[in-house]
Amino acid sequence: MRISDKAAFIIERLENAGYEAYAVGGCVRDSLLGKEPYDWDICTKALPDETKSVFADLNVIETGIKHGTVTIIIEHEPFEVTTFRVDGDYLDNRRPESVKFVRNIEEDLSRRDFTVNAMAYSPARGLIDLFGGMNDLMAGRIVCVGDAKTRFCEDALRIIRGLRFASVYGYEIEENTARAMTETCELLKNIAAERINTEFTKLLEGKNCKKILTDFTEIFSCFFPAFSTENWLFAADAAEEACEPKLRLAAFFCTLFPAETEVRNALHLLKYDNAAIKFICSLSSVWKDALPGNINDMRKALFCTGYETMSSLAKIRKDAKAQKLIDEITEKNLCCGFETLAVGGHDIKKLGVQGKQIGKILETLLFAVMEDKTPNNKEELIKYAENLMEGGNF
């Protein structure tokens, strides 16, 4: 197994100072799968102050020193280094009230969530795999370290994390682990919505998301607002069919809840950010509408609903004709918004128009251009506006 040069440097320096050290957790799992780890976590026999001393020549930040973690910055890249530890009691189903530093890797690995995340590696000692993580990785299964129910009672977020791993990697969840997830799922009500939505959003991006969503509906009902089982199954289908992560989230919520207000309430409840809420609710508002079938109607739709919304809807529905219309409008730079209209408010004001009437005239001119009633030319648009005013239309 190959680890990054910087992670290897940290491990080697700790070892040379007399402190056992390993890459640990997700970075080991992903490396064994041939994936590039997002980051490298390191665990060590060294206490936090000892780690700081070993790296006194580098920038060391006390990010979580209470729990044994310091962050070493090497060429602007952060590496978390944590002392071997065991956790104290979990009183809130999320975090231990205290930790106890230990001096061996075996105790540290025994506190971790799943076997595939409970492996450690050092160039000097090779792979440390005490719980069969490699076998589970190769077999494609998610198994808890030790007693599954205990693991989930300690930290209920592990339930949704396990489902996320199974979705993303296409793995099965071992029978005892799956049963314990269901038996303890009510504890998810104690977990912050922000943490759940992070895991759930990643879960939707997985290649196995439909199976996980449909096999574990009871668990998801613990943190989702009320939904019909039939809609949930349709939503699982819609999510898997969508081609992009952002569109999967939108397709899921728009299918699950029939009304825009329900979509908005669910997204607020799960603490999604304003940008996500705005985008998904915009899609929800036109979710059941037919896509425009000609270029002029598509131009109007782009103006009324927005480019991102219409383009996303075409992608989700895999409507090649609608997407071709959008592409043609873009390529030809056809006017479908005030920003591309050849006249602006100052031009209409010169005609003696004031206040809200300016906006009304501009909108009328825009629709006239999109309906091919007049070219998008300043002189022609001014004439068109004058004719409208002379005709008593404004």
What number is the average pLDDT over the span 356-374? Answer: 93
Contact yes or no for 380/386 (Cβ under 8 A) = no
Total residues belonging to the chain: 394
Contact of 385 with 348, CB cutoff 8 Å: yes
The residue behind tokens 């669910």 is: 266
Q: How does pLDDT run across 289-319, given as a tens digit for each residue?
A: 999 999 999 999 999 999 999 999 999 999 9
Q: What is the mean pLDDT of the chain?
A: 94
Structure token pair of residue 4: 């990054």
- Which of these ranges, 1-15, 88-102, 104-118, 327-341, has the smallest mean pLDDT? 88-102
Question: Going from the N-terminus, what domains does the chain have, and what CATH number goes with each?
Answer: 5-137 (3.30.460.10), 140-223 (1.10.110.30), 338-390 (1.10.246)
Tell me how far CA of residue 334 lies from CA of 172, 308, 371, in angstroms. Answer: 50, 16, 12
Smallest CA-to-CA distance from 316 within 346, 269, 268, 282 is with: 282
Q: How many CB atoms lie within 10 A of CB 342?
A: 17
Task: Read off the pLDDT of each residue in 68-96 and give the average, rounded to a whole number.
Answer: 85
Query: What is d(CA 184, CA 392) in angstroms, rounded to the nearest whole number?
Result: 70
First-to-last alpha carbon distance for the chain, in angstroms, is 75
Closest CA to 249 of 190, 316, 299, 347: 316
Question: Is residue 247 predicted with pLDDT exceeding 90?
Answer: yes
- Residue 41 confidence (pLDDT) above 90: yes
Q: Is 393's pLDDT higher than 80?
A: no
Q: Is the pTM of this model over 0.75?
A: yes
State the Cα–Cα distance between residues 213 and 231, nearest whole angstrom. Answer: 12
Q: Is the pLDDT of residue 1 over 90?
A: no
DSSP code at position 190: G
CA dihedral (374, 376, 378, 382) in degrees, to 10, reads 30
**378 has a pLDDT exceeding 70:** yes
Please tell me the distance from the alpha carbon of residue 388 to that of residue 365, in angstroms, as a whole number.
10
Pick the closest to residue 32 from 129, 142, 158, 174 (CA basis).
129
Read off the pLDDT of residues 121-145 as tens digits, 9 standing for 90 and up. Answer: 999 999 999 999 999 999 999 999 9
Task: For the chain, give the percent of residues with pLDDT over 90.
Answer: 88
pLDDT tens string 204-238 = 999 999 999 999 999 999 999 888 999 999 999 99
Q: Are the C-beta atoms of residues 213 and 239 closer than 8 Å to each other? A: yes
Q: Name residue 320's amino acid.
A: A
Task: Estimate to the nearest angstrom the gap between the alpha carbon of 10 and the chain centroid.
Answer: 31
> What DSSP element (H or E) covers 177?
helix 175-184
